[in-house]
Amino acid sequence: MENNKNSEVLKRQSKKEVLLFYCVECEELARKVAAQSQHITLQSINWRSFDDGFPNLYINNAHDIRGQHVAFLASFSSPAVIFEQLSVIYNLPRLFVASFTLVLPFFPTGSFERMEEEGDVATAFTMARILSNIPISRGGPTSLVIYDIHALQERFYFGDHVLPFFETGIPLLKQRLHQLPDAEKIVVAFPDDGAWKRFHKLLDHFPTVICTKVREGDKRIVRLKEGNPAGCHVVIVDDLVQSGGTLIECQKVLVAHGAAKVSAYVTHGVFPKRSWERFTPKNGEGSEKGFAFFWITDSCPQTVKAIENKAPFEVLSLAGSIADALQI
């Protein structure tokens, strides 16, 4: 009994005390992360601008963070907010902190990683180079936490000054699926071979369906490649959604092949230009004509606010996972 008590004390003592800074967009997520652990304390930054629009920033209690483990929760939701956050990210490690962790749940240029012809600019590589030049802290290279980066090979875009740590939101989805009343009838669908390669090992205890895109003239048509969705609750899984066109076409194909209902999960609900509206019930249509559930994480805070209390959306928070990652 005494040994167990000592073991628990040692566990508590071995936990890092982390000071967590955050950008304006991520305040709600940061509060959820801090609520997960007594070892995470929120810190504040004054996010102001000069009259010409350039940032006028101040890190509060900068002297007090010396020798402490420091983290920053970022959201690069648009080019307009990236510079001010990078200014803070480059400054924090230089304040004599014990270690520095950058949590960037969504790596925004991840889908722009290829050059198809000379002249194309792979902005994923550009962003990786920018983050690779974060100054080294007293504790060494920056730990960089990213969730479900679009292309796995992008891990090799980062230099030696950062230690990328790639996490996934799939455990949150699995937990939610097991709570459903029809959990025994779940089939996981992948909208293309890329999604299958990416996620099938994490979901290998579910029956699977794979869709594919084929070109017919000037159009790309979604077809069922393998698997049987008939009579099942089919959940389409991918890393991110933009316009949502592929998911909608995939849903139509699955229903045509007998799926009882269709839901979707993406880690990153980007939804530019309010494209999430395509998935909300309209004109009295019920969920049987669309998606039963659409699960996203809170990696894109602006989307979370926009879809709040709107069916079929449901947010699976990364807060617990981020809190765990800050202890690595």
CA angle 242, 245, 251 (to 5 degrees): 120
Express as a percent the part of the chain with pLDDT over 70.
Answer: 91
The alpha helices in the chain, defined as continuous H runs, are 2-14, 27-35, 79-91, 123-132, 170-178, 193-199, 245-256, 301-306, 319-325
151 is a domain residue: yes
More confidently predicted of 119 and 18: 18
Using the predicted structure, report yes or no on whether residue 11 has a pLDDT greater than 80. Answer: no
Judge whether 119 lies within some domain. Answer: yes
Specify the amino acid at residue 5.
Answer: K
- pLDDT mean over 36-58: 97
Instruction: Quote the percentage of the chain above a pLDDT of 90.
Output: 80
Which residues are within 8 A (CB) of 10 and not within 5 positions of it... i.e. 6 or more apart?
A: none
Q: Higher-confidence residue: 13 or 136?
A: 136
Instruction: Please tell me whether residues 156 and 259 are part of one structural domain.
Output: no
163/24 same-domain check: yes
* Stretch 165-193: mean pLDDT: 96
71 lies in some domain: yes
Q: What is the pLDDT of residue 163?
A: 95
Number of domains the chain is built from? 2
Residue 192 lies in a domain: yes
pLDDT exceeds cutoff 70 at 302: yes
Q: What pLDDT shows up at residue 199?
A: 96
pLDDT tens sequence across 231-251: 999 999 999 999 999 999 999
β strands within the chain, DSSP E: 18-22, 40-42, 45-49, 55-59, 69-73, 99-103, 142-147, 162-167, 186-190, 208-216, 219-226, 233-241, 261-269, 294-297, 313-316
Give the separation between CA 257 and CA 266, rounded to whole angstroms: 22
Edge to edge, what strands does the sheet with 18-22 contain? 40-42, 18-22, 69-73, 99-103, 142-147, 162-167
Q: Do the domain assignments include residue 304?
A: no
Same domain? For 24 and 160 the reply is yes
Residue 178 sits in the same domain as residue 128: no
Same domain, 178 and 288: yes
pLDDT of residue 10: 52
260 CB-contact burial (10 Å; exposed 0-12 / middle 13-18 / buried 19+): middle
Q: Is the pLDDT of residue 133 over 70?
A: yes
Same domain, 143 and 76: yes
Q: Check whether residue 150 and residue 180 sit in a common domain.
A: no
Do 146 and 29 have their domain in common? yes
Closest by Cα among 243, 242, 254, 238 to 291? 254
The string of pLDDT tens digits covering residues 188-226 is 999 999 899 999 999 999 999 999 988 776 677 889 999
Q: Is the pLDDT of residue 8 over 80?
A: no
Tokens describing residue 151: 């292309």
Burial of 46 (0-12, 13-18, 19+ CB in 10 A): exposed
Backbone phi, then psi, for 209, in 5-degree steps?
A: -130, 140
Indicate whether 219 and 163 sit together in one domain.
Answer: no
Indicate if 48 and 133 belong to the same structural domain. Answer: yes
For residue 328, what are its two tokens?
């690595």
- The pLDDT assigned to 115 comes to 63
Owning domain of residue 285: 170-297
Residue 303 resides in a domain: no
CATH of the domain at 266: 3.40.50.2020
Residue 16 scores a pLDDT above 50: yes
Do 79 and 91 fall within a single domain? yes
Do 193 and 120 share a structural domain? no
Assign 148 to helix, strand or coil.
coil
pLDDT at residue 289 in the model:
65
User: Which of 79-83, 159-163, 284-288, 304-308 has the least mean pLDDT?
Assistant: 284-288
The 10 Å CB-count burial string (b at 16+, else e) for 48-67 is eeeeeeeeeeebeeeeebee
On whether residue 4 sits in a domain, the answer given is no
Q: Please provide the average confidence, as pLDDT, over all residues in the chain.
A: 91
Of 27-41, 112-126, 133-147, the range with the lowest mean pLDDT is 112-126
Q: Report how far apart the first and last C-alpha atoms of the chain are (Å, whole number).
A: 28
Q: Is residue 309 part of a domain?
A: no
Q: What is the reported pLDDT for 119?
A: 86
